[in-house]
Amino acid sequence: MVFYKCNNCNKKWQQPVSICPFCFSKLERIRTEKLKVIASSKVVIPSLLHPKIPYYALLIEDECGNKFAYKSMKDRRVGDSLEFASSDNRDAVVIWKANYDLLDAIENIVKLAKLEIRKDSKILVLPTLVEPVHNHFHENTSLEFLDAILTYLENVGVRKIKIATQSLSDKPIEILAQKSGLLDVCIKHKLTPFDLANSGFDNQGSIHISREVKENDLLLNLSALKSGKSSSNENAMRLIEKSNYEALRYLYSEEYIFKALSSIDNMFIFGEAIHPQRTDKFPVFRSLIFGSRNPVNLDAVFNNTGMVNNLPKYLRDTKVDQIKIIGREIDEVKRNIDLIL
Q: Residue 294 is part of a domain; what is its CATH number?
A: 3.40.50.11440
Which uninterrupted H or E stretch holds 176? helix 173-180
Separation CA 2–CA 113 (nearest Å): 19
Residue 117 and residue 52 share a domain: no
- Residues with Cβ within 8 Å of 23's Cβ and at least 6 positions away in sequence, in order, are 6, 8, 9
CA 82 to mean position of chain CA atoms: 23
pLDDT band at 253 (very low <50, low <70, confident <90, very high): confident
Collapse the DSSP code of 263 into the 3-class scheme (helix H, G, I; strand E, B; otherwise coil) and give the result: coil
Please give the pLDDT value at position 255. Answer: 86
The residue segments making up the domain with residue 57 are 2-72
- Cα→Cα distances 132→43, 139, 140, 174, 239, Å: 44, 9, 9, 9, 20
Asked if residue 84 belongs to a domain, the reply is no
Confidence check: pLDDT of 341 > 70: no
Q: Where are the alpha helices (DSSP H) in 37-101?
A: none
Angle between helices 254-261 and 242-251 (to 10 degrees): 130
pTM: predicted TM-score of the whole model, two decimal places: 0.94
Give pLDDT tens digits for 13-36.
988 888 999 999 999 999 988 999
Q: DSSP class of residue 51?
A: -
CA-to-CA dists, residue 240 to 206, 260, 314, angstroms: 11, 10, 21
**Which residue, 106, 215, 223, is CA-closest to 160?**
215
Task: Tell me which residue of 217, 240, 211, 235 sits closest to 298, measured CA to CA.
Answer: 235
Residue 296: the pLDDT is 94
294, part of any domain: yes
Domain shared by 14 and 143, yes or no: no
Q: Are residues 279 and 318 in the same domain?
A: yes
- Are 134 and 246 in the same domain? yes
Residue 184 counted as domain residue:
yes
- Confirm whether 85 is domain-assigned: no
- Residue 121 and residue 185 in one domain: yes
- Rounded to whole angstroms, how far apart are CA atoms 97 and 108? 10
- Looking at the structure, tell me whether residues 49 and 112 fall in a common domain: no
Q: Are residues 67 and 103 in the same domain?
A: no
In a domain, 139, yes or no: yes
Q: What is the pLDDT of residue 58?
A: 96
Same domain for 325 and 220: yes
Q: Give the total number of structural domains in the chain.
A: 2
In a domain, 82, yes or no: no
Residue 87 lies in a domain: no
Residues 256 and 171 in one domain: yes
Average pLDDT, the chain: 94
Q: Nearest-5° angle of CA 168, CA 262, CA 105?
A: 85
Smallest Cα–Cα separation from 304: which of 327, 259, 337?
A: 337
Q: Looking at residues 171-190, what average pLDDT do you find?
A: 94
pLDDT tens readout for residues 315-336: 999 999 999 999 999 999 999 9
Residues 40 and 123 in one domain: no
- Are 58 and 110 members of one domain? no
Residues 6+ apart with CB under 8 A from 256: 248
- 267-305: per-residue pLDDT in tens? 999 999 999 999 999 999 999 999 999 999 999 999 999
Question: How many Å apart are CA 262 and CA 250, to the nearest integer?
Answer: 20
For the four alpha carbons of 152, 103, 84 and 338, in that order, the dihedral sign comes to negative
Count CB atoms within 10 A of the CB of residue 281. 11
Residue 138 lies in a domain: yes
pLDDT for the residue numbered 174: 92
Residue 84 has pLDDT above 90, yes or no: yes
Average pLDDT over residues 191-217: 93
Q: Same domain, yes or no, for 47 and 150?
A: no
